[in-house]
Structures are given as C-alpha cells and as structure tokens.
Amino acid sequence: MLLKWIGTFILTIVLTAFSAVSASASTNTLSIGSPITLTDRVLVTIPMTIVCDPVDSPFSSFIDFSLKQADGQSVSTASGEIFSSPPALICDGVTQNTTPLNLTPNAGSGPFHGGGAILAVSFHYCSFSFCETGSFGPAPVQLRG
C-alpha cells in the first residue's frame, strides 16, 4: 500500500512538471499606445508595440487592422493588412517592436473625426507550418485631432 502511494506521488510530481513546461505563458502581446492621432481627418496614427515568440525558419509577418467610427447615419472605416516577407518583426520573446500603424479611410468611406472609435488589430509571425499571433480588441479608442 505504501509503495503504491509513493508511486502515485512520484507520478503526480512528474506529470505536474511536464504540464508546467507545456503550459508556459506565451509572450505574444500587442499593445496600443496613446495618443491615437488624427491628421486632416484622413490619417489615423496608432502607436503600437508587439512582443512575440520565435518560430523556426520565419517566413513572413503580417498585421490585420480594422477601425470603425460612427459618423451621423454612416460608419467611417479603415481596414486592411500589411504583409512582409521576410518578416518585419523581430520575434525573440523580448524585443519590443514599436511602430506606428498609419490608417486612411477605405474607398467609399467618409473621413474620421475626433472622438470614439472601435479598433481591432492582430499580428501573425509565421514559419511555413506555424504562426505566432497576438491581438488587441475590438475595443473602444479615442481619436485625437
């Protein structure tokens, strides 16, 4: 009985150690800074910082974005993707990739104005078989003109 209990105890310790290693926290983060500025009602500049984990044989990186703002009876929008191959990000789990994201209204969309908007941004840092990802939003933000 004592031997069975000791075996179960050791197995529990080993399984706990393995699960702790496999469940290690990811460092993939995307944070939005402030202020988010609006220039001439058509250029929105969003300061952002990305920290990402490495992947084997990185091939590409891309950032998806969407900004929406109510304007009377319509909604002004900016959306798209910025693609880079080779990757434009340095992903080592530590480096802070700090860059502004510059957005302009989509074709057929009205201009932006100072005030509240909804922002969603995500990044992908990819090898040929795997992508590290991180995201912000959709969340409310303030555009300052």
Q: How many domains is the chain partitioned into structurally?
A: 1
Residue-averaged pLDDT of the chain = 85
Does residue 31 lie in a domain region?
yes
DSSP letter (8 states) at residue 41: T
Does residue 134 lie in a domain region?
yes
Does residue 53 lie in a domain region?
yes
| Confidence category of residue 26, pLDDT binned at 50, 70, 90 | confident
120-145 residues labelled b (16+ CB within 10 A) or e (exposed): ebbbbbbeeeebbebebbeeebebee
User: Closest Cα partner for 136 from 9, 33, 53?
Assistant: 33
Place of tokens 């891309």: 62
Q: Is the pLDDT of residue 53 over 60?
A: yes
Mean pLDDT of 4-23: 37
Percent of the chain with pLDDT over 70: 83
Does residue 123 lie in a domain region?
yes
Is residue 36 within 8 Å of 46, Cβ to Cβ?
yes
For residue 145, the model assigns a pLDDT of 86
Does residue 18 lie in a domain region?
no
Does residue 3 lie in a domain region?
no
Supply the CATH number for residue 74's domain: 2.60.40
| Confidence category of residue 30, pLDDT binned at 50, 70, 90 | very high
Could you tell me the residue range of the domain that residue 60 belongs to?
26-144
Does residue 125 lie in a domain region?
yes
Is residue 68 within 8 Å of 123, Cβ to Cβ?
no
Biggest CA-to-CA distance, the chain: 79
Q: Is the pLDDT of residue 16 over 70?
A: no
Place of tokens 């609006």: 38
State the Cα angle at 89 between 83 and 93, rounded to 5°: 140
Please, which residues have CB within 8 angstroms of residue 16's CB and are 6 or more apart in sequence?
A: none
Q: Is the pLDDT of residue 133 over 70?
A: yes
Does residue 120 lie in a domain region?
yes
| Confidence category of residue 7, pLDDT binned at 50, 70, 90 | very low
